[in-house]
Structure 1
Amino acid sequence: MSFLKAISASIAFSFLIVPIATADNSVFVGQPEMIQSSGAGEGPVWHPQLGLLTSGDGNINRRALDNSSHVFRDGAGSNGLLFDRQGRLVICENVNRRVTRLEADGKLTVLADSYDGMKFNQPNDLTIDSKNRIYFTDPQYGDRSNMQMLDANGKHVEGIYRIDLDGTVTRIITHEVDRPNGLIITPDDKYLYVADNNNGLGGARKLWRFDMRPDGTPDLASQKMLYDWQTTRGPDGMKLDLSGRLYVAAGLNEPRLPEQTATPPTAGIYVFMPDGKQVAFAPILQDETTNCAFGGPDGKTLFVTAGGTLWSIPTAQPGYQIQ
């Protein structure tokens, strides 16, 4: 593609095999395998020509189809990544506190950098509906002294926003979720799943589901908790397969007391039916398990980012890809 400016960056990798703990064999058909030891902190997204892009070490990195690794976009300061239906890369730039889009000619378009005159916190993850409206989460992790986003009563907001095709930005969730992180909307626009990931002492670590209206707003009264990680690390990124099952990165292997426990080790990919029934779990030995994405030639490889490492797990069903 014309905007690709790859900078060679050899990334050492090793292979580590981990047995699947509890798994329906209609979900995972092989073992988790570590395929890259650095450069894959967050935001995995698959492209049929480029391969896998991830956010890591301050850059957007590319693992090409031949498994070579390069810096795709230097100094991006990114987290969540998504290719839209025109093949453009949409980027949550958590460092620059904005959502941008990389056009086919290499130009960077700012889609959203403020709401009601206030800078966003740390745009984290994003999803897109059938009408090409983009939704993104805006939590605040770490230092909170520079937060600008407030509600009408002066309370800090860690919300969820929608970007319409005309560029209008609307806040669709304000305080219904403690600290929204990952999110995904179903292909039929029926449900919005949200990862509530406040890993501070007493914070929520829950998976929520909302019914969505045709206008792109959630029915807040429909909010349903599907799973609660309680005192371990909460849910982060998530993806759907073609059967509608939800694959969620969550958990810890080593405790971070007093805020987060890990007894027993819980880091890995949790798989749920739409009603919240857990049907599988694939453990990842590396903390923290941050996100996942389907890819590969047949769409049946789940790529998992964890503590900068990259893992792969073969799956029975292909993942849902935006088309």
Structure 2
Amino acid sequence: MRIVSRWMLTLSLFLILKSTLVADELPAPTGDPAIIPAGAKLEELWKEGLFTEGVAAAPDGRIYFSDISAGDRPGRILRFDPSTKKTDVYCAGSGQSNGLMFDRNGNLIAACGANGGKIALCRIEEEGALKVLASKFDGKVFNSPNDLVIHPDGSIFFSDPRYVGTEPTELDHMSVFRFDPKTQKLTRVTTEITKPNGVILSPDGSTLYVAETNRGTTEVAKAKSSNSKSRMTLNAFRIKKDGTLGKRKILHDFGDQLGIDGMTVDTNGNIYAAVRSAERHGIIVFSPAGHVKAYIPTPDLPTNCCFGTGEGKQTLYLTVGKGLYRIKLKSTGYHPATS
């Protein structure tokens, strides 16, 4: 018994040491010194999740993020307090929330996915209950709302692909939608993206950036013919006066490498993209024109990122693998819904 205990203790210490070494051996962030300060280093804050996503900064400076389950539970939303460095459970049943963002009134809006989830655009109530804002398009249930961004006018753009989930699909397309909470109007804003993922806005609110993350497969049976080719791209769309989108402009093509999951922007319009490429995963910073300006390596595949608020406005928070991380930068984050 003592031998087994000693062996387990030795193994545990080895794993802890190995994990520390892996973190310490990460290549240093590189790129534009106006973005990456000297000595910038990624800091692990919490690593007890299953699959973290949708990091969002609250007006009071606390950081919220999703922990998506494998379908055995509805997922949850965690909350990290920068002042205490403690993380607690904010919502124990998030309906498989993925993308999160606070609106101008301080409401937490969530894109809730499939695989046992709510499959809807929802508002997370203070007591943890979910208020469905939209769940169907043309009378058909969404595929699996994935990510969202709230425009300064209050409207919500969100992506609706299907990556996981055993639920039957009803739509024959995977699209980007715009929901207006004031009028309750839901609009399909583009047909040019085969499988949309992360979405974010330019600081002036005139451009919507959309990540297309399509390996050439889909669970939406009727859409197979339009999704037969792998498409991994970062795209820009001009937002028209009626909220629909103009013709897409491809800013970056990842070729055969896995592309972008979630994104955020800084006040200069630079795009911070969580890139899941096996060869070079991490946060890649693109200019508004699509030029690479900086690179922040991560210890595992990243899913999303956002800047903090208040005193943390130059701190980038990242969901990576099973955890939450942060890094102090020189750039300042922009929050389209509240800035």
TM-score, normalised on structure 2?
A: 0.80
What does the per-residue CA deviation read over 1:34-55, in whole Å, with 9 as the maximum and x for residues that have no partner?
A: 2222336100001143611110
Q: CA deviation at 1:129?
A: 1.3
Would you say the 8 A contact 1:179–1:198 is kept in 2?
Answer: yes
- Partner of 1:178 in structure 2? 194
> Residue 48 of structure 2 corresponds to which residue in structure 1?
38
User: Which shifted more, 67-76 or 116-125?
Assistant: 67-76
Among 101, 111, 116, the alignment partner of 1:82 is: 101
Which residue is equivalent to 1:234?
259
Residue in structure 2 matched with residue 64 of structure 1 by the alignment? 81
Q: 1:291 aligns with which of 290, 301, 304?
A: 304
Root-mean-square deviation over aligned CA pairs: 2.0
Distance across 1 between alignment mates of 2:143 and 2:53:
17
Secondary structure of 2:312's partner?
Answer: coil
Question: Offset at 1:147?
Answer: 1.1
Asked whether 1:157 is paired with 2:167, we answer: no
The aligned runs of 1:1-323 (5 Å cut-off) are 16-17=23-24, 18-29=26-37, 30-39=40-49, 41-49=52-60, 51-56=62-67, 57=69, 58-65=75-82, 66-76=84-94, 77-94=96-113, 95-103=117-125, 108-142=130-164, 146-149=168-171, 156-164=172-180, 165-174=182-191, 176-200=192-216, 202-220=229-247, 223-252=248-277, 262=278, 265-286=279-300, 288-295=301-308, 297-321=311-335, 322-323=337-338
Letter in 2 for 1:205: M
- Asked if the contact 2:45/2:325 (under 8 Å) is kept, the reply is yes
Q: CA deviation at 1:33?
A: 2.4
Q: Alignment partner of 1:187: what SS?
A: coil
Structure 1: how far apart are the matches of 2:102 and 2:46? Answer: 22
| 8 A contact 1:129–1:186 mirrored in 2 | no
Instruction: Rate the CA distance shift 1:37–1:107 in 2: closer, same or farther, 3 A.
Output: closer
Write the letter of the residue equivalent to 2:76: N
Quote how far apart the aligned CAs of 1:67 are.
1.2
Flag structure 1 segments of 5+ consecutive residues without an equivalent.
Answer: 1-11, 150-155, 253-261
1:180 partner letter: P
Please give the alpha-carbon distance, in whole angstroms, between the structure 2 residues aligned to 1:33 and 1:217. Answer: 39
Q: How big is the shift at 1:251?
A: 2.5
CA distance in 2, matches of 1:187, 1:214: 17
1:21 deviates by: 4.7
Q: Hey, what does 1:9 align to over in structure 2?
A: none
> SS where residue 70 of structure 1 aligns?
strand
Supply the AA of the counterpart residue of 2:142: F
Counterpart CA distance in 2 for 1:64 and 1:130 is 26
The Cα of 1:145 is off from its aligned counterpart by 6.7
Whether contact under 8 Å (1:84, 1:128) holds in the other structure is: yes
Shift of 1:229: 1.5
Distance 2:91 2:165 in 1: 26
Contact 2:91-2:128 at 8 Å conserved across structures: no
In 2, Cα distance between equivalents of 1:42 and 1:105: 21
Letter in 2 for 1:73: C
The Cα of 1:212 is off from its aligned counterpart by 1.2
Aligned partner of 2:244: which letter?
T
Q: What is the alpha-carbon distance in structure 2 between the residues aligned to residue 180 and residue 157 of structure 1?
A: 11
Unaligned runs of 5+ in 2: 1-15, 70-74, 218-228
Mapped contact 1:130–1:187 kept (Cα < 8 A)? no
| In 1: Cα distance, 2:291 partner to 2:166 partner | 35
Corresponding letter in the other structure for 1:231: D
**Partner-residue secondary structure (3-state), 2:98:** coil
Partner residue, 1:6: none
Q: Distance in 2 between matches of 1:78 and 1:108?
A: 10
Offset at residue 238 of structure 1 (A): 0.4
* Greater fraction of residues in helix: 2
SS in 2 for 1:230: coil
The equivalent of 2:13 in structure 1 is: none
Map Cα deviations across residues 54-76 of structure 1 (whole Å, 9 max, x no partner). Answer: 10041011112311111110121
